[in-house]
Structure 1
Amino acid sequence: MAEPIRPEPGTAGKTVNFELRGIDYVPDDMRDSTPSNLFRVFVGAQLTFGIMILGWLPVVFGLDFWSAVTATTLGTIVGAVMFGLFSLLGPRTGTNSAVSTGFCYGVKGRLLGSFKALFIGVGYLALTVWVCGDMVAAGVARMTGSGTSDALRAISYLVIMAALIIIALVGHDLLVKLQKYVIPLVLLGLAVMVATTFSAFGSTLETQASTLSPSEYWVAWVATFVIAMQLPVSYMPFANGFTRYISRKRWNDRSVFLGMSLGVSLGVLIALIVGIYISTLFAADQMSFGDGVVSVVPSWFVLPLVLIALIGAFDQGGFALYGSGLDASSVIPALRRLPATVVLSVISLLLVFLGSFVWDAAVIVSGFVTIIAVFVLPWAAVGFTSFLFQKGRLWPLDLQVFEKGIRGGAYWYNRGWNWRSTAAYAAGVLVALLFVKSDVYNGVLADAFGGADLSMFVSTIVAVALYTVFRLISPEQLELPAKGETSTASPALKNPASASVPE
């Protein structure tokens, strides 16, 4: 694989370099990122109205402001802790999240993670372009006094997507450097937006009262908790694409965990609470989120609001498209990151047009959240359980055999698949589908928890428990690296004969 054009160690952030690296192993002497970079990236990635729309959902559900904030805060903290723990893989494996999980699922079984990352990345990209494009179109319409037309929205989507392609193609360095400008600019803009609408919010808060019955309130509160929790969880397939640039010689696990978990939790809380706040100021169940936000701010603030929407879209959308490009290249090794990025942008743009002109916004967004919750958390939980069983000691180069077109190594298992983890994960998801409760799909046991959707927790418990049982019944015969081992390849991989045929 082509070597990337990257800065010398310790110079990250001083220049922007075009990244040619895909999902191949990053040697330790080329890892120039820091935990503070991780913190900034995952704060800045949330500061977009494409994420804030998730704060619109609790208001649509009927929760009052403080109930929505409480559920959101608790859910975010739980999700951020899980996200931070999963992020510890990257510094050990030197590659992205999906390929990293090859130690658990097998070097081919890790494709489960690649497909999930593709789905989430394309989904969040489409959501970001859709919401921010609507806000730009609504803002232009209000400033010019014209109505918001389909043509204006379509042009907004195309312009935003074109900018995102450029950002994602440049890659890691630009995404890190953007945070120096995105975070202060967007935070300032959001502060002004809150200040200019606070009197209206105060009046709304005094008169706001939930009309939900106790059972309806419980269902809405749990749904809000799950929405907040799944947001950090949904970044797990992308987390190690950033932590792979952290040197274990310079930074310990604690610093990586804190940088990632604090960054994502702060960003998510700001985004969702602002989303909840602004959604209380308009008829959330009757008006789209983008149109509603533009309608409640003073006329003089419409142009700054449009600029904030664009800045946030460039950051979060670029993040999603970059991560998706990495995972597309890991699914099809012959497809490099750059062409994969362009192909995925076209797919996302198609979804944007369908979401804008064909589908119902609230149903699609809530359905997307449900799918993420059910499919991602058990996958990551089984992976982290395996990580603990293997004492955090991994062979990085053994994870790369699928991309290099060879067979064998420590994680070949059975033709590249580990049946224990794969079967446990599949069983967890299948059981969870019985309990799903959403506007898109309801399982046969959807009302088992009083109408609340706890399928994410069911799938995780079942998957981890089964994986543990399967390991006890049929132990994985793995040779772990010794403490202080400096080799990045296992003895099996270093022996050409052993690395060319299945075990």
Structure 2
Amino acid sequence: MIATADGPHPGLSAPPKITEVETHGVEPIPDAERSAGPLDLFRLVFGGANTIATVVLGSFPIIFGLSFRDALLATLAGLVLGAIILAPMALFGPRNGTNNAVSSSAHLGVHGRVVGSFLSLLTAVAFFSISVWTSGDVLVGGASRAVGMDPNAAPNDVAVGVAYGIFALLVLIVCIYGFRFMLLVNKVAVIAATVLFLLGIIAFGGTFDPSYAGIFGADADAATNALYWPSFVGAALIVMSNPVSFGAFLGDWARYIPRETPAWKSMSAAFLAQIATLVPFLFGLVTATVVATNASTYMEEGNYVGGLLAVSPGWYFIPVCLIALIGGMSTGTTALYGTGLDFSSVFPRFSRVQATVLIGAIAIAFIFVGRFAFNVVQSISTFAVLIVTCTAPWMVVMMIGWFVRRGWYDSDALQVFNRRQRGGRYWFTHGWNWRGLGAWLVSAALSICFVNLPGQFVGPLGNLAAGIDLSIPVGLGLAAVLYPALLFAFPEPADAFGPDGPRVVPAGPPANTPIISVDTPSETAAVR
């Protein structure tokens, strides 16, 4: 009997050593090797978000001009709503033993599942880059201040490049070893980073003013006060984007959880992990208030990181460097691991390790070229927001699909694409389920039209609600209406559902499409 973080599980084989390279790709994890538990999922999700990158997101409500009280309310609203939306995405991994992109074959089709894979790839590369850039800059800046260098001096590009390189290579090594090594890193990160953040209570307790009023209020002019609600909603949506960004990745880690694990445990792990990120969010919120009060020039320039280093007491520079190092490792590994896994699922001839090395090398090259040759740091942040905006309606399609399927999936049929086969109960129309794809495509396209990121990207409908960014609410709401409507109007084949049939929606005649290996033109023609 092998014990997991949640207690003993009979019938499990001994888990591989931490230093043993993981060989599993997106094929279903055998039941005997599923030795992780919901607590491990909590550590991975929380560890991946307990970082400087999340701290920077936490500073946005203050940058937008909100008072500390209103910024706290916006943060709580965005975080709780995002965690509620994210939680059901933890169900697919334990049920199917594979990542969420592969599981999406049941709702978008054998070929349509590449939508989820590419959303994951783009999100992971974007957040890996942001993690390395943010952590590297903080590490170099904090180390420079710790040794007494001029606080107004610009960071040395060579030092910054070395920091980026160290971060990126360490992350790549961890991801090559795989799930167990990544879990160890995040176990350390959860405790260490949290302790270092809590030290901030001592570091900033004397300078923090909870009555900070922001730019809105009785003394502000009418034009300024008219921006209050756009700022409040925008701040909440930026916070919400953090938990939503994990939606495509939860299956990467949850696939090692035994399939008999109660659904509420996996969902609770994902939900509570996001609620726990109040630690870095509040750190960002409090320190942004201190910066706005004592070093407002930095906030006016949008340079929160520089302001953080400027207001930090000398003894806290080392903890800030450690936060950057630990957080960069945990965020980078959770992002890049999923990238390699998804790439190997889209191009099955690559093993997980080969795909991780290839994508890691491309991502590292992008980090250096993007930072030093084209300075696309702000642009990639905008790109990440747009990708998250497109991911939200995809998550809705997945969750509604789970509901109408009663949580029943044919794991063998989900693997048709990866095995270079055709057919099966999720073949639909030449491998595409236009019901799920149509709902996602329309919702994502309209959602992007409502994006409002002043100074970065404003969609054609971005100013329709007096400057309030409605992108994610529009994407979520439209997908929640459009996908069920398509399922009612154009029922899916009966054999796409389990033995109990669909829930709520009707079913059409069974397709009875056999799974075959496509080796000859005649076989290909037969399936088409």
Change (3 A) 1:15 1:151: closer
Amino acid in the other structure paired with 1:448:
L
Equivalence for 2:284: 275
Task: Summarize the alignment of residues 5-84 of structure 1 with structure 2, pairs less than 5 Å apart.
Answer: 9=12, 15-84=18-87
Q: Over residues 436-487 of structure 1, what are the superposed CA-to-partner deviations in whole Å (9 max), with x where a residue is unaligned? A: 2123332222222121011222122223322222222221103233369xxx
* Structure 1 counterpart of 2:215, from 210, 235, 246: 210
In 1: Cα distance, 2:512 partner to 2:176 partner: 36
Q: Secondary structure at the match of 1:401?
A: coil
Residue 124 of structure 1 corresponds to 127
Q: What TM-score comes out, normalization by structure 2 length?
A: 0.86
Given that residues 97 and 241 in structure 1 are in contact (C-alpha distance below 8 angstroms), is that contact kept between their aligned partners in structure 2? yes
Tell me: CA distance 1:299–1:196, structure 2 relative to 1, closer, same or farther (3 Å): same
The amino acid of 1:406's aligned partner reads Q
Q: Secondary structure at the match of 1:302?
A: helix
1:136 aligns with 139
Which of 156, 179, 183 matches 2:190? 183
Match of 2:506 in 1: none
Distance 1:127 1:115, change over 3 A: same
Equivalent residue of 2:359, what SS? helix
- The corresponding residue for 1:166 is 173
1:89–1:51 CA distance, 2 compared to 1 (3 A): same
Aligned length: 487
Q: Does 1:102 align with 2:102?
A: no
**For 1:497 and 1:166, how far apart are their aligned partners in 2?**
35
Match of 2:116 in 1: 113
- 8 Å CA contact 1:230–1:369 kept in 2: the answer is no
Q: Which position in structure 2 is the counterpart of 1:458?
A: 474
Q: In structure 2, what is the Cα distance between the partners aligned to 1:419 and 1:491?
A: 15
Q: 2 CA distance for matches of 1:142 and 1:170?
A: 35
Distance 1:171 1:193, change over 3 A: same
Q: Does 1:258 align with 2:268?
A: yes
Q: Give 2:410's aligned residue.
A: 395
Would the alpha carbon gap of residues 221 and 266 (structure 1) be closer, same or farther in structure 2, given more than 3 Å must change?
A: same
Matches of residues 368-447 of structure 1 in structure 2 within 5 Å?
A: 368-438=383-453, 439-447=455-463
In 1, distance between residues paired with 2:190 and 2:401?
36
Residue 491 (structure 2) pairs with residue 481 (structure 1): no
Question: How much does 1:275 deviate?
Answer: 1.3
The question of 1:232 aligning with 2:275 is answered: no
Q: CA 1:180–1:360 in structure 2 vs 1: closer, same or farther (change >3 Å)? A: closer
Cα shift at 1:76? 0.9
Identity of aligned pairs, percent?
29
* Equivalence for 2:301: 286
In the other structure, the counterpart of 1:487 is none
Cα distance, 1:103 vs structure 2: 0.2
Please provide the CA RMSD for this pair.
2.6
SS at match of 2:421: coil
* Aligned counterparts of 1:42 and 1:153: Cα–Cα separation in 2: 28
- 3-state SS of 1:237 partner: coil
Deviation at 1:134, TM superposition (A): 0.2
State the SS of the aligned residue for 1:58: helix
Amino acid at match of 2:60: L
Q: Cα distance, 1:61 vs. partner?
A: 1.4
Q: Does the 8 A contact of 1:122 with 1:347 survive in 2?
A: no
In the alignment, is residue 149 of structure 1 matched against residue 156 of structure 2? yes
CA distance in 2, matches of 1:29, 1:492: 31
**How far is the alpha carbon of 1:374 from its aligned partner?**
2.1
Provide the C-alpha distance between the structure 2 equivalents of 1:209 and 1:440, rounded to a whole number of angstroms.
22
Distance 2:245 2:143 in 1: 32
For the residue of structure 2 that corresponds to 1:190, the secondary structure is helix
Q: In 2, distance between residues paired with 1:477 and 1:181?
A: 48
- Kept in 1, the 8 Å contact 2:140–2:163? The answer is yes
Q: Structure 1 counterpart of 2:415, which letter?
A: Q
Q: Which moved more, 1:490-499 or 1:472-481?
A: 490-499
Distance 1:221 1:351, change over 3 A: farther
Deviations 1:320-370 (A, max 9, x none): 1101111111121112222222232233334433554444755653x2353
- Equivalents in 2 of 1:381, 1:265: separation in Å? 21
State the one-letter code of the partner of 1:482.
Answer: P
- For the residue of structure 1 that corresponds to 2:206, the secondary structure is helix
Structure 1 pair 179/377, CA: closer, same or farther in 2 (3 Å)? same
Contact 2:175 2:336 in 1 (8 A): yes
Matched, 1:467 2:483: yes
Q: Which amino acid aligns with 2:288?
A: S
CA distance in 2, matches of 1:20, 1:30: 12
